[in-house]
Amino acid sequence: MVIHMVKVNDNYLKLPGSYLFSTIGKKVNAYTAANPDKKIIRLGIGDVTQPLSPAVIGALHAAVDEMADAGTFRGYAPELGYEFLRTAIADNDYKARGCQIEADEIFVSDGAKCDSGNIQEIFSIDNKIAVCDPVYPVYVDTNVMAGRTGVYNAETGNWSDVIYMPCTAENDFAPELPKEVPDLIYLCFPNNPTGSTITKAQLQEWVDYANKNGSIIIYDAAYEAYISQEDVPHTIYECEGARTCAIELRSFSKNAGFTGVRLGFTVIPKELKAGDVQLHTLWARRHGTKYNGAPYIIQRAGEAVYSEVGKKETKALVAYYMKNAAYILNGLKSAGYTVSGGVNAPYIWLKAPNGMTSWEFFDYLLEKANVVGTPGSGFGPSGETYFRLTAFGSHENTVEAVDRLTRL
């Protein structure tokens, strides 16, 4: 008798261990269970802690009331998202910066994480990807799941078919143009995890490189609200020629505190093609088939972020976290740590002291200071011996955490 065997997608089996933040969670939970009297301060996962702004809460309440009335009730959302939100995004995030992005080039979603993982689905598995090293794990892991990354080398922490662009202290944590031309280039600025940025002139070099070589840039601008320096671009579409080579991913999570509310969007200009195929059409097909849209009440909350009051409140929220970032950066610098980031980003990237590995420093901080951060090696081989702290805690906890670290 032949036993019928269902096969799994064995690309998933190639993934080493669990997702980085799951591993951190398990370690912290085990420590907390063994030491229930200790006050743990979490500066690890990039989750916000401050409440939603009054403008957003007001919009949520009003939209909920609309859903309670047959005359204003809304069912399924339009496939790309409601026009009121897409127009607000196009006007405020793009046209106000001199970038010609139209409302129908914006696809509303429930956050940048899904989009950054799903966008690869519209490309062939034969395509070669390039990522910064260290890198946000989702870019690589979702390409592993698709079967695009080759074989994993446990010793080096590298995949055989991925082009790595090291971001180290030597190059100021900014990647160099790869010698081997990739098909898809993942860039994230302000960067997660290093907190580094590049100037508009530097980003223009990437756009020129992509257009010259027929590559496509997947540009993650989730942290653009944290930019404080004039020459750092807020969107890749500030660069000439970006409409023919770049997809941009954006999020409401880190600027407006929507990590638990969930809202984001992807921009695909209509000129962007792979060969003769318009990528806007492909993504619209994928979006319409696999996704039923962000809820109406959430999209109304997103619209409120762009109101005059909403803009002021969002700026105040960002300023709160950047005050934390400055406190961490300056406190650790004065204590003798080698640190970067924290100027245009809510992340501080520090060198683990005394030759410790990233995970050794994680354990050391957890046990000696009861502070949780993120080991740099979890973001890739070039992250080894580094460590990421986030500015998303409360100000009181941030001050206490820095105090504990400087006393070690």
Q: Which residue carries 């204590």 as its tokens?
A: 335
As a whole number, mean pLDDT of residues 302-306 equals 98
Domain edge (last residue) among 278, 308, 338: 308
Phi, psi of 248 (to 5 degrees): -120, 135
Within a domain: residue 269? yes
Q: Is the pLDDT score of 19 beyond 80?
A: no
Q: Are residues 137 and 255 in the same domain?
A: yes
Domain edge (last residue) among 262, 277, 308: 308
As a whole number, mean pLDDT of residues 16-24 equals 82
Q: Are residues 269 and 315 in the same domain?
A: no
In this predicted structure, what is the pLDDT of residue 371? 98
In this predicted structure, what is the pLDDT of residue 220? 98
- Apex 297 CA angle, 294 and 300, nearest 5: 95
In this predicted structure, what is the pLDDT of residue 46? 87
CATH code where residue 359 lies:
3.90.1150.10
pTM above 0.85, yes or no: yes
In this predicted structure, what is the pLDDT of residue 17? 76
Per residue in 345-356, pLDDT (tens digit) is 999 999 999 999
Within a domain: residue 86? yes
Query: What angle do helix axes 308-334 and 395-406 make, rounded to 10 degrees?
Result: 10
CATH code where residue 280 lies:
3.40.640.10
Domain edge (last residue) among 284, 308, 332: 308
Structural domain including 350 reads 17-50+310-406
Q: Are residues 187 and 283 in the same domain?
A: yes
The answer to whether 293 touches 76, Cβ cutoff 8 Å, is yes
Q: Which amino acid is at 326?
A: A
Of 3, 287, 238, the C-alpha closest to 122 is 287
- 36 vs 30, 31, 221, 346, 367, CA distance in Å? 10, 8, 39, 29, 13
